Amino acid sequence: MNITSAEFFRSASAISGLPEENLPEIVFVGRSNVGKSSLLNSLCGKKGLAKTSSTPGKTRLINYFKINGNLFFVDLPGYGYAAVGQGEREGWGKLLSEYIRERDRISLVVLLVDSRHPGMGSDREMMEFLEYYDRPYCIVMTKYDKLSQSEKAKARKAMESCAANAKFIVNYSSFSGDGRSALLAHLDNFTQ
């Protein structure tokens, strides 16, 4: 797909505040600080669209962005950050798990995994959760620029073996834009 327009649409702090518009939703999830908001900005080619931070736990709400007038990208709060997830049964925010369970217009969940740590327990749990609720998902390996050549091949292999049910896997660097055109081409299949 080619992104011609990307606009902030709305934030919601509860499931009851989600938009009524019946548009497909491509959702970005992953551990806190994995690079979700940066990926959104990189994909849309708009630097300040989603707020990013080097401190984990920046995104606390469900943020909707309208893409090309006919689709939503959804930026969710990260999991695995103690101050956000503590006390929650699955360790993820209540908002995040409710959204994934109940929102039936999700066309694809983009699960972001840090390239330096493929197969972490919390990411595996997220994959199991997505499979249990029958949500189609793909894997984006973020911060790929931080890996050496030999680490890249190793990380990719490790990810492939633990994400056998993912629709596809893409290596990504929001800094260089590597992986952007590959990811956009895949997303094209999930815009209806």
Ligand X SMILES: Nc1nc2c(ncn2[C@@H]2O[C@H](COP(=O)(O)OP(=O)(O)OP(=O)(O)O)[C@@H](O)[C@H]2O)c(=O)[nH]1
Residues near Mg ion (CB under 5 A): 36-37, 58-59
How far apart are alpha carbons 153 and 136 in whole angstroms?
25
Distance CA 129, CA 131 (A): 5
Instruction: Closer to ligand X by CB, 36 or 135: give it.
Output: 36
Task: Tell me which of 6, 25, 38, 49 binds ligand X, using CB under 6 A.
Answer: 38
Specify the residue, 106 or 141, whose C-beta has the smaller distance to ligand X.
141
Told to check if 36 binds ligand X by CB under 6 A, we report yes
Cβ distance to ligand X smaller for residue 70 or 78: 78
Q: Which is nearer to ligand X, 107 or 174 (CB)?
A: 174
How many Å apart are CA 43 and CA 150, to the nearest integer? 26
Bridge partners, residue 27, by sequence: 74, 109
β-pairing, 137-142 vs 6-12, is unpaired
Instruction: List strand residue ranges (DSSP E) for 13-168, in order.
Output: 25-30, 62-67, 71-75, 106-114, 137-142
Min separation Cβ 55 and ligand X, Å: 7
55: DSSP letter: S
Taking CB under 6 A as the binding criterion, the range among 89-97, 147-155, 167-175, 180-188 that sits at the site for ligand X is 167-175
Residue 142 as a binder of ligand X (CB under 6 A): the answer is yes
Other C-beta atoms within 10 Å of 47: how many?
Answer: 10
Residue 115 in the binding site for ligand X (CB under 6 A): no
**Which residues on neighbouring strands pair with residue 114, listed in sequence order?**
142
46 makes contact with ligand X (CB under 6 A): no
Confirm or reject binding of residue 37 to ligand X (CB under 6 A): yes
Please give the sequence-ordered ranges of beta strands (E in DSSP) within 3-61, or none if there are none: 6-12, 25-30
Name the one range near ligand X by CB under 6 A: 1-9, 19-27, 98-106, 170-178.
170-178
Please report, as ranges, the residues that interact with ligand X according to CB under 6 A: 30, 32-38, 52-54, 56-59, 78, 142-143, 145-146, 173-175
